[in-house]
Structure 1
Amino acid sequence: MAKNGGRGRIRVFFAEVEGDDETIQEGLQAINVAANKIFQSTPTKIVKVLPASATPIDEDELLEELEDEDEALAPPNVAMNSKPKKSSYKPPIMSIVKDLNLRPEGELSFRDFYAQKKPNTQEQAVTVAVYYLRRVLELDKITPEHVFTCFKDVGRKTPKNMPQTVRDTAKNKGWVDTSERGNIKITNHGENMVDHDLPASNGKTDS
């Protein structure tokens, strides 16, 4: 290397190596060591050794080729930077039980019973409905759709997921029993709440 007036010059010599594979490999290693000493301060670049008869490859083409190889090695059915899918669960669609008579002859209608008890919370309304269906109408099987029909009869806003609301009432309050699949039962605790705590004097009961 020679310097002249603040400018530099560098001359790179390429060596030609002949011999068997072992000799060529040793020669390439020696050239690599020498080149690293000269260009140790330069940014690292991708180098691909090609046979002497091969056509020189453009660097951009080489990068694209390496990227294609990386994609080929990626696990199948796995998208890069893919976002987790949102849950596709939708609450069941409730239907009115058409043969459910909520105005039985000789008995208090559900609408009048509901007006007497004045339930405030969804849990209270669920319990009042189950109580009426079990103790007044004496139904053997009560489903979430029966409770849904009761809500519709009195014009109460129905929850988005009626089965889950019934389960929450059983879990959080213990007023109903959902242990038997497809059949809701009133518990002793729930009967006491409807018989003695409703309507609540303060407008709400959590007992």
Structure 2
Amino acid sequence: MARRNNGDASGVDKAKVRVFFAEVEGNNESVQEALKTMVSAMNRPVRVLSDQGANGRHPALLQQANVEEVEEPIEMEEADALDEEPANSRRPRGTGKKVDRNAGLNLVPDLNFRPSGAQSLKEFMDQKNSKNDLEHVLAAVYYMQRVMSLTKIGPAHVMTALKEAGISIPVDLKQTVRNVKKSKMWLNFTDIEDIRTTTQGDNFIEHEMGKTE
């Protein structure tokens, strides 16, 4: 019988084997059978585990007989992880796929931007001299609401007006309209297809925009 050595764990390979003798009583036949069993057990080869255990103890002697070699499974998770992009990884700004945020907007036909007896849209926009996208959107909505008397104005109407006035269309017109409402409070709407100017927006158009500094 093999016994582990719990002594020195300095890394030097040592082993201790203790042999026990057994006393058997019985008739001749039973004694002979017992002796055959012990001799057979003693003749079995042993295998020494050469690797030191994780707990720092010395290897033990193991019986080689009836040991079934089991092939360790291949770790597939690591290989799969190489093919997958981490969920929390982010691509650098500007390297993603380009998307046209205005793809769903179409020009609105039959809008009269040159009404009789009033300034044309182009003349109005030139007079107000809007400086940025927020001001461009406000001026276009104001003109369509106050001069053209449109009862419903949406992003497609704004895009059509900006094209008529020769002004560049914001890359994400709907978001620009939302920014006018949120950051300036010049517009108000629950449905983005029904945009109206606020008192603040009207005051800015009528009393501040287009004034010479």
Question: Fold conserved (TM > 0.5)?
Answer: yes
Larger radius of gyration: 2
Which residue identity lines up with residue 143 of structure 1 in the other structure? G
Supply the distance in 1 between the matched residues of 2:147 and 2:203 (Cα, whole angstroms): 15
Correspondences of 1:75-90 after superposition (within 5 Å) = 82-84=86-88
Is the 8 Å Cα contact of residues 155 and 174 (structure 2) preserved in structure 1?
yes
Q: For 1:87-166, list aligned pairs within 5 A.
A: 91-93=101-103, 94-166=105-177
CA distance in 1, matches of 2:178, 2:138: 11
Structure 2 segments unaligned to the other structure (5+ residues): 1-11, 20-47, 78-82, 91-95
Superposition pairs of residues 165-184 of structure 1, within 5 angstroms: 165-184=176-195
Structure 1 residues 42 and 81: alpha-carbon distance in aligned structure 2, compared to 1, 3 A threshold = farther
Cα distance between partner residues in 2 of 1:81 and 1:43: 39
Contact 1:174 1:190 in 2 (8 A): yes
Q: Judging changes above 3 Å, is the alpha-carbon distance between structure 1 residues 100 and 56 closer, same or farther for their aligned structure 2 residues? A: same
Distance 1:124 1:80, change over 3 A: closer
**Are the counterparts in 1 of residues 122 and 165 from structure 2 also a CA contact under 8 Å?**
yes
Q: Which amino acid aligns with 1:62?
A: E
Q: How many angstroms does 1:163 deviate by? A: 1.1
Instruction: Give the Cα separation in 2 of the matches to 1:43 and 1:178.
Output: 73
Counterpart Cα distance in 2 of 1:194 and 1:183: 20
Find the counterpart in structure 2 of residue 56 from structure 1.
69
Conserved 8 A contact 1:127-1:176 = yes
Tell me the C-alpha RMSD between the 2 structures.
3.9
Report the structure, 1 or 2, having the larger helix content. 1
Contact 1:103 1:110 in 2 (8 A): yes
Q: Judging changes above 3 Å, is the alpha-carbon distance between structure 1 residues 82 and 138 closer, same or farther for their aligned structure 2 residues?
A: same
Aligned to 1:186: 197
Q: TM-score if structure 1 supplies the norm length? A: 0.61
Question: What letter matches 1:82 in structure 2?
Answer: P
**1:205: which partner in 2?**
none
1:76-127 deviation digits (Å, cap 9, x = unpaired): xxx9763348799863422211222212233221001111111112111111
Report the AA paired with residue 167 of structure 1.
R
Distance in 2, matches of 1:126 and 1:189, equals: 14
Say whether the 8 Å CA contact 1:97–1:149 is kept in structure 2.
yes
Q: How many Å separate the matches in 2 of 1:158 and 1:14?
A: 92
Contact 1:119 1:128 survives alignment (8 Å):
yes
- For 1:165, what is the secondary structure of its paired residue? helix
